Amino acid sequence: MSIQTVVPEQYDSQLNDKVEQLSEQLRGHFSHLSLPDIERFESPKSHYRMRAEFKLWHDGDICYHVMHKPGDYKTRYRVDTFPVACELINQLMPKLIEQLHNSEMLKRKVFQVEYLTTTTGQAVISLIYHKVLKEEWQAAATQLASDLGVSIIGRSRKQKVIIGEDFVEETLQVNGRDYHYQQVETGFTQPNAKVCEKMLSWAQTASAGLSGDLLELYCGNGNFTLPLAQQFDRVLATEISKTSVNSALYNLDKNKVDNVTIVRMSSEEFSEAMDGVRPFRRLKDIDLPSYNFSTIFVDPPRAGLDDHTVEIVKGFDNIIYVSCNPETLIHNLKSISKTHSIERFAVFDQFPYTHHLECGVILRRLSSS
């Protein structure tokens, strides 16, 4: 993470500028299309991130959190409070520093700290070291976990020591219903919980009335899978990360969602399976032809969809596309919009005071395609 300047009174104008810039890009690339108005979903103006990481800098007998500015990784900025992060992280930061100052065992050769928290008050603090973590460290870390009321993870080269759990359990409210998520320390999760709730609610509402079965690529820990599963007969979801697959299975069981099957494979591999390029052992127990896929949901990494997956996506009547990178989204839409109309377009301000915007698009097959 890089340090950010949080100026709440400038938030509205900065978001307006980001949305207008995106609107101009869309008009420039799709002037021949009838585009819907952009729906916009704002973030809290401060204390919105549920996870954060810092370097720990040592200056004599003291240490403190430091960050860098984007593009300047030589200059250190001391961080004692961090309005980007949630209130819980801000409460834990000075308490952790005090505990480190009181324990040479915990402080020596620690160089980074990562916080993972929830809206319900759970926290995991990961401490990364340039030393082997022995029994004496574990005893000190156990006391630290007790004093702070958190789980502690110690990391060193080829070593991971867990005091408590290596995950938190978050609860997100989607259209009036609570969904419970295991979020693992090393797994990907949306950092802005309140905006995430808005994204999930939008996707669930936008998919209302789409019958049949859903194919989801890049399902992660089931973040979108859980609320979307309520809208379809069956869901087949893919994810390559073993950690995320395990969390997704846990979350399905936790939320009593029983119409979802998860396959551990990449989107590229699944695209090959859909095309019959080659068989996959991981699909041997899945009757693909029995699915009545009407809709596909994709939430790809920043690189967007590869060309082959784009062609697979275009084979579905309905497409729900969530993107963390408007540039690659636009690139993909140039192809997809030849066969599908853009029915809805939303932006979600996951990262206030930065140039980033998360987007959500609903596309429907053109009658002539």
Residue-wise pLDDT for 146-192, tens only, equals: 999 999 999 999 999 999 999 999 999 999 999 999 999 998 899 99
Q: CA nearest 311: which of 360, 369, 237, 368?
A: 369
Residue 275 has pLDDT above 80, yes or no: no
HSE-CB at 256 with a 13 A cutoff on CA atoms is: 1
Domain 8-45+192-365 and domain 51-168 have a common topology: no
- DSSP E strands in 211-366: the ranges are 213-217, 235-239, 260-264, 293-298, 318-323, 340-348, 358-365
Confidence of residue 369 (pLDDT cuts 50, 70, 90): low
Q: What percent of the chain has pLDDT over 70?
A: 97
Q: What is the pLDDT of residue 42?
A: 98
Q: What is the pLDDT of residue 98?
A: 98
> Which residue is associated with the tokens 């973590």?
133
Residues 6+ positions from 24 with CB-CB distance below 8 Å: none
User: CA 161 to CA 306: how far, in whole Å?
Assistant: 38
Q: What is the pLDDT of residue 281?
A: 78
Residue 105 has pLDDT above 60, yes or no: yes
User: CA 24 to CA 30: how far, in whole Å?
Assistant: 10
> Which residue is associated with the tokens 């004692």?
80
Q: Which CATH superfamily groups domain 8-45+192-365? A: Vaccinia Virus protein VP39 (3.40.50.150)
Catalytic residue (choose from 324, 327, 343, 359): 324
Residue 42 annotated in active site: no
pLDDT in tens, 29-69: 999 989 999 999 999 999 999 999 999 999 999 999 999 88
Residue 277 has pLDDT above 70, yes or no: no
User: 56-65, 114-123, 179-188, 265-274 — which is least confidently predicted?
Assistant: 265-274
Q: What is the pTM of this model?
A: 0.93
Residues 6+ positions from 146 with CB-CB distance below 8 Å: none
Amino acid at 134: K
Q: What value, to the nearest 5°, has the Cα angle with vertex 27 and ends 354 and 24?
A: 30
Residues 6+ positions from 224 with CB-CB distance below 8 Å: 199, 200, 203, 216, 297, 299, 322
Pull the structure tokens for residue 277: 């390029």
Residue 324 annotated in active site: yes
Question: For the domain with range 51-168, which CATH number is right: 1.10.3720.10, 1.20.120.80, 3.40.50.620, 2.40.50.1070?
Answer: 2.40.50.1070
Residue 130 has pLDDT above 80, yes or no: yes
Residue 348 has pLDDT above 90, yes or no: yes
DSSP 212: S
292: exposed, middle or buried (Cβ count in 10 Å: 0-12, 13-18, 19+): exposed
Residue 263 has pLDDT above 60, yes or no: yes
Residue 198 has pLDDT above 80, yes or no: yes
Residue ranges covered by each domain of the chain: 8-45+192-365, 51-168
Looking only at the bridges linking them, the beta strands covering 318-323 and 293-298 are parallel
